[in-house]
Structure 1
Amino acid sequence: MALSTKQGLLTASGGSPAAVARHDKGGWLALFGQPGLVNDPVGSAPHRGVDQLSAFYDTFIAPNDIRFEVHHDIVCGHDVVRDVTLEIGMSEAVRLRVPAHLRYAMTADARIDGLYAHWELLPMVGQLLANGVPAAGVGARLSGAMLRNQGFGGALGFARGFAGVGSRAKRRSEDFLGALSAGNHVDASAHLAPSCSLRFGGAAVPEIAEMAVRMRDWKVGKVIAAGNVVSATMESAGGPAVVMLEYRRRAIVSMVVFIDDDN
């Protein structure tokens, strides 16, 4: 399948949630290029290559019933960014709803080069524990599967997902995006590192003042902190967008605005 059209990208990336929903491990693995990468959640250790992707599937996908409630799809160059809520059935008694932004970086031959899942691990664990006694069995099963399929190193790598920029960076991001929406590039610039990279769609933006013009009156929706990245759903007159802000310490070092190529 060629990636020359928006529909081609959507169809290729859409094969992943479809294969997950029907528990088709072979079909899911076949969607990835070589070596292929999954970073789920962003901030945890990534899985690369068929062996690690297979272990990831056996640990996190195979035991669960996972459905994707899609709110928006954005095709920006060869990236598909999906604004979703993940519905995860971990047992008959334990069902979770996890807000997420999923980015599929696609290759030229319609394979997934990288799947980056932005969602918050700590609130998900809080949801799990709120289920009381049934959560204990689910947690024990997950821990056993992780150690069996990925070893102690894999478990430590997953635990890295608990670290990251957290709620303070979410609040700073909301202030930053609010300033841009108000056209206030002076206040927005206070959040940026001196060498911050700015991209809008597929093009570089030379200065934050131009970004403030382009994003005037945009509305901020859900905000997610995963690893050192804060992602935010935004609504513009031209349609939905997803903004990803990469932090180093307290400053934004990279800003990418994913907006549909049709807009």
Structure 2
Amino acid sequence: MASRPTAEQLLQTVAASPAAVAVHDRSAWLDLMARNAIVNDPVGSTPHRGREAIGRFYDTFIGPNTIVFDVAHDVVCGSTVFRDVTIATTMSTGVTLHVPMHLRYDMVEEHGSLKIGLLAAYWELPTMLAQLARAGMPGLSASLKLTPQLLSNQGVGGTLGFLRGLRRAGAAGKRTAEGLSAALRRGDADGVASALSGRARLELPAGTTVPVAEFVARGGEFEWSKFLSAGNSVTASVRAGERSGVALLEFTARRIDRVALYLTED
């Protein structure tokens, strides 16, 4: 692939992932991944690196379940595709979990084909566990079945690595993100700056660094919703008129270290 891939080509490759998941085609799903791909699902847990580890991830979390993607919108920004999606996962015990997510696909070229170099899933593990708890006996049965699957496929280290997803920026991070979005809407540069660390990077669009004043002037048109906390990040859906995107905020010690607005190019 000599030329830069088009948005349509990027979206076709991304769409092939849930298509393979829907028919439980393990080989097709793994073939979408680059040789040294990383799957971080959920963000905050220990990443899975390389085909063998990603295959074990599939065997644990995808293969035994029926998974349906409800995509609100896709955002293409450079070689990254962000999906604003809710995933319905029906486990073998019959319980169905509805999990809001922002899915990030960083695409790379490998041997002339587009591949997924990074698949990062921003969703809230505690929210999913709370759904299981509220499901009663079917949820308890699903939990009891998932635990040995985790241990068998991931080992003790991998199981503990998955549970690292419980550590997040959390409610405090989401409040900070909501405060930042409100300050943007007011055009309050001081309010934006107060939420940032001393070395914070503002990107509008993602990959293009801008000063606070420009970020406020251009970013104030967006309305933010669907705040999700995963790892040291908070993501949000953003919209201005017909233009949609995803905001990614990365935290260090409860302060925002990076804000990147992933927006489809005009």
Tell me which amino acid in the other structure corresponds to 1:164. Answer: R
- d(CA) in 1 for partners of 2:18, 2:139: 25
1:98 and 2:99 aligned: yes
Task: Please list, as runs of the form range in 1=range in 2, the aligned pairs for 1:244-255 lying within 5 A after superposition.
Answer: 244-255=248-259
- d(CA) in 1 for partners of 2:71, 2:4: 21
1:62 and 2:66 aligned: no
Equivalent residue for 1:77? 78
Equivalent residue for 1:8? 9
Of 3-12 and 67-76, the range deviating more from structure 2: 3-12
**Cα deviation 1:179-205 (Å, max 9, x = unaligned):** 112211111100111111111125423
Aligned length: 262
Query: Residue 107 of structure 1: SS of its match in structure 2?
Result: strand
Tell me which amino acid in the other structure corresponds to 1:59. Answer: T
1:195 and 2:199 aligned: yes
Q: Return structure 1 stretches of 4+ with deviation > 6 angstroms.
A: none
Query: Residue 256 of structure 1: SS of its match in structure 2?
Result: strand
Q: TM-score, normalised by structure 1?
A: 0.96
1:215–1:236 contact (8 Å) kept in structure 2? no
**Cα deviation 1:64-106 (Å, max 9, x = unaligned):** 1001000010000000000000011013531111000000000
- d(CA) in 1 for partners of 2:32, 2:127: 30
Offset, 1:127: 0.5
Equivalent residue for 1:171? 175
Query: Residue 135 of structure 2: SS of its match in structure 1?
Result: coil
Q: TM-score, normalised by structure 2?
A: 0.95
Equivalent residue for 2:184? 180
- d(CA) in 1 for partners of 2:153, 2:242: 45
Query: Residue 183 of structure 2: SS of its match in structure 1?
Result: helix
2:184–2:219 contact (8 Å) kept in structure 1? yes
2:102–2:122 contact (8 Å) kept in structure 1? yes
- d(CA) in 1 for partners of 2:153, 2:222: 44
- d(CA) in 2 for partners of 1:82, 1:35: 22
Equivalent residue for 1:119? 123
1:157 and 2:158 aligned: no
2:101–2:122 contact (8 Å) kept in structure 1? yes
- d(CA) in 2 for partners of 1:190, 1:204: 21
- d(CA) in 2 for partners of 1:172, 1:203: 22
Offset, 1:46: 0.3
- d(CA) in 1 for partners of 2:4, 2:174: 34
Q: Unaligned 5+ residue runs, structure 1?
A: none
